[in-house]
Amino acid sequence: MKHSLAAAALFCAGLLAGVSGARAGSWKDVESYSDIRKPIDLAKLASGDILGERIQVPSTPLGISVQTCYLVGAPPQQVLARMQDDQSAEKVEASKTLDKEGTFRINIPPQVADFAPLSLDPGARSAKSVLGNALEADTKKGKLNLAPEEAKTLASALREIQTANGNNWMKAGREKAEDAFRALLARRASQFQQGGLSAMAAYDTGSGNISVKDELLMMTRSRPKVYERFSSLFEAAISGQAPAGATAPPRYYWESSKIQGEETFNLGTFFAHPTEGGFRALEVQYFVTSKYYTSLILYELWPVESDGKQGTLVWRADFVSTPSIPFLKGIERLAAENIMLLEVKKSIGAFLKEAAR
């Protein structure tokens, strides 16, 4: 989960072989807000092609975005359910920068027990990195994404463990260190469920504050038509409550992964509501312990017909805010955008393969 925006031109029925739109015209609105320059060819998408485009985000120097469009050989309700079920997947294929270890559900309301699988193995370099940064979180700001009070609380807890156990504190005090991180995640999850993005305290980077809400709004408002189309879902994310017309409560989850060699934990939620024959959905990661600040995925699902069978055309937009982007210029930034697009397409390809089983 985490994907990209797609855009397209008008659909020409005469060019398609064996593929036609269900409820003609219902999905063609994509061209009114999508930034993908290539026209949508349902026949090519039905054969596994994935449209993709790098998108400029001029509103914030931290933002990077891509859009994608693809076709799934199942009706929208099933596709949406599979997207939501991805949140309980145990593993995804590792890339050079990301090794996702697990995705786990968070209850309503959150319980510390929801984070029981959290593990910080002192024998692993990735765990040592995050524990070392947490120990100094209140003095070396910006290595972890924390509000000032969170940094103070976490660093104080780990120093107590270090004082009690000496140089062997990461191993001898492992359980208490894990409990400190579980408490941090449970507090953030509770705050989001009660007040959404509006309740999320800004990260203290040492050189300024980063508000996840502000970053997401700046990135998405740089695409005004997209923002307007998904406005009810943005309102849901800001408040933390289910959007109007939703047929099910939001799905809350947390993930454990290794990013650039450091153990990273993030909190996310998945909102969705029905449209005429399909769905719109928003997935936001509203708290991340390190390496990036936040990410957002928008989806629109339309019913189509492929070779006499029901299928779903999916348009997707990915936004990521990361502290590394402002330092990339010219060809380096272009390379980062291309890598993001390739990773999103890789994720979609795995999703399509799984959906075809």
Average pLDDT of span 187-215: 97
Q: Give the chain's mean pLDDT.
A: 88
What's the rounded Cα separation, in Å, for the pair 222 and 201? Answer: 23
Phi then psi for 205, rounded to 5 degrees? -90, -5
Query: What angle do the packed helices 148-165 and 174-195 form, to 10 degrees?
Result: 160
Q: Does some domain include residue 312?
A: no
Contact assessment for residue 299 and residue 314, using Cβ atoms and an 8 Å cutoff: yes
Q: Does some domain include residue 94?
A: yes
Q: Does some domain include residue 290?
A: yes
Question: 21 vs 308, which has greater pLDDT?
Answer: 308
What's the rounded Cα separation, in Å, for the pair 198 and 196? Answer: 5
**β-bridge partners, 223:** none
pLDDT digits (tens, 9 = 90+) for 126-146: 999 999 999 999 999 999 999
What pLDDT score was predicted for residue 36?
96
Please name the residue that has the structure tokens 């001898």: 172
Q: Does some domain include residue 8?
A: no
Contact assessment for residue 241 and residue 232, using Cβ atoms and an 8 Å cutoff: no
Average pLDDT of span 14-29: 45
Confidence grade of residue 357 (pLDDT, cut at 50, 70, 90): confident
What six digits make up the tokens of 267? 């909190």
Please name the residue that has the structure tokens 């070392």: 132
Question: 326, 135, 80, 118: which is closest to 215 by C-alpha?
Answer: 326
pLDDT digits (tens, 9 = 90+) for 272-317: 999 988 999 999 999 999 999 999 999 999 999 877 889 999 999 9
- CB-CB neighbours of 82 under 10 Å: 14
Please give the C-alpha separations between residue 191 and each of 170, 177, 183, 185, 267, in angstroms, as whole numbers.
29, 22, 12, 10, 11
Contact assessment for residue 60 and residue 319, using Cβ atoms and an 8 Å cutoff: no
Q: Does some domain include residue 273?
A: yes
Domain that holds residue 129: 65-74+85-302+336-355
pLDDT digits (tens, 9 = 90+) for 56-110: 999 999 999 999 999 999 999 999 999 988 654 433 344 444 556 899 999 999 9
- CB-CB neighbours of 299 under 10 Å: 25
Q: Does some domain include residue 158?
A: yes
DSSP 103-140: EEE--SS--GGGGTT----TTSHHHHHHHHHHHTTTTS
Query: Helix or strand or coil: residue 206?
Result: coil
Q: Does some domain include residue 182?
A: yes
What's the domain count of the chain? 1
Q: Does some domain include residue 236?
A: yes
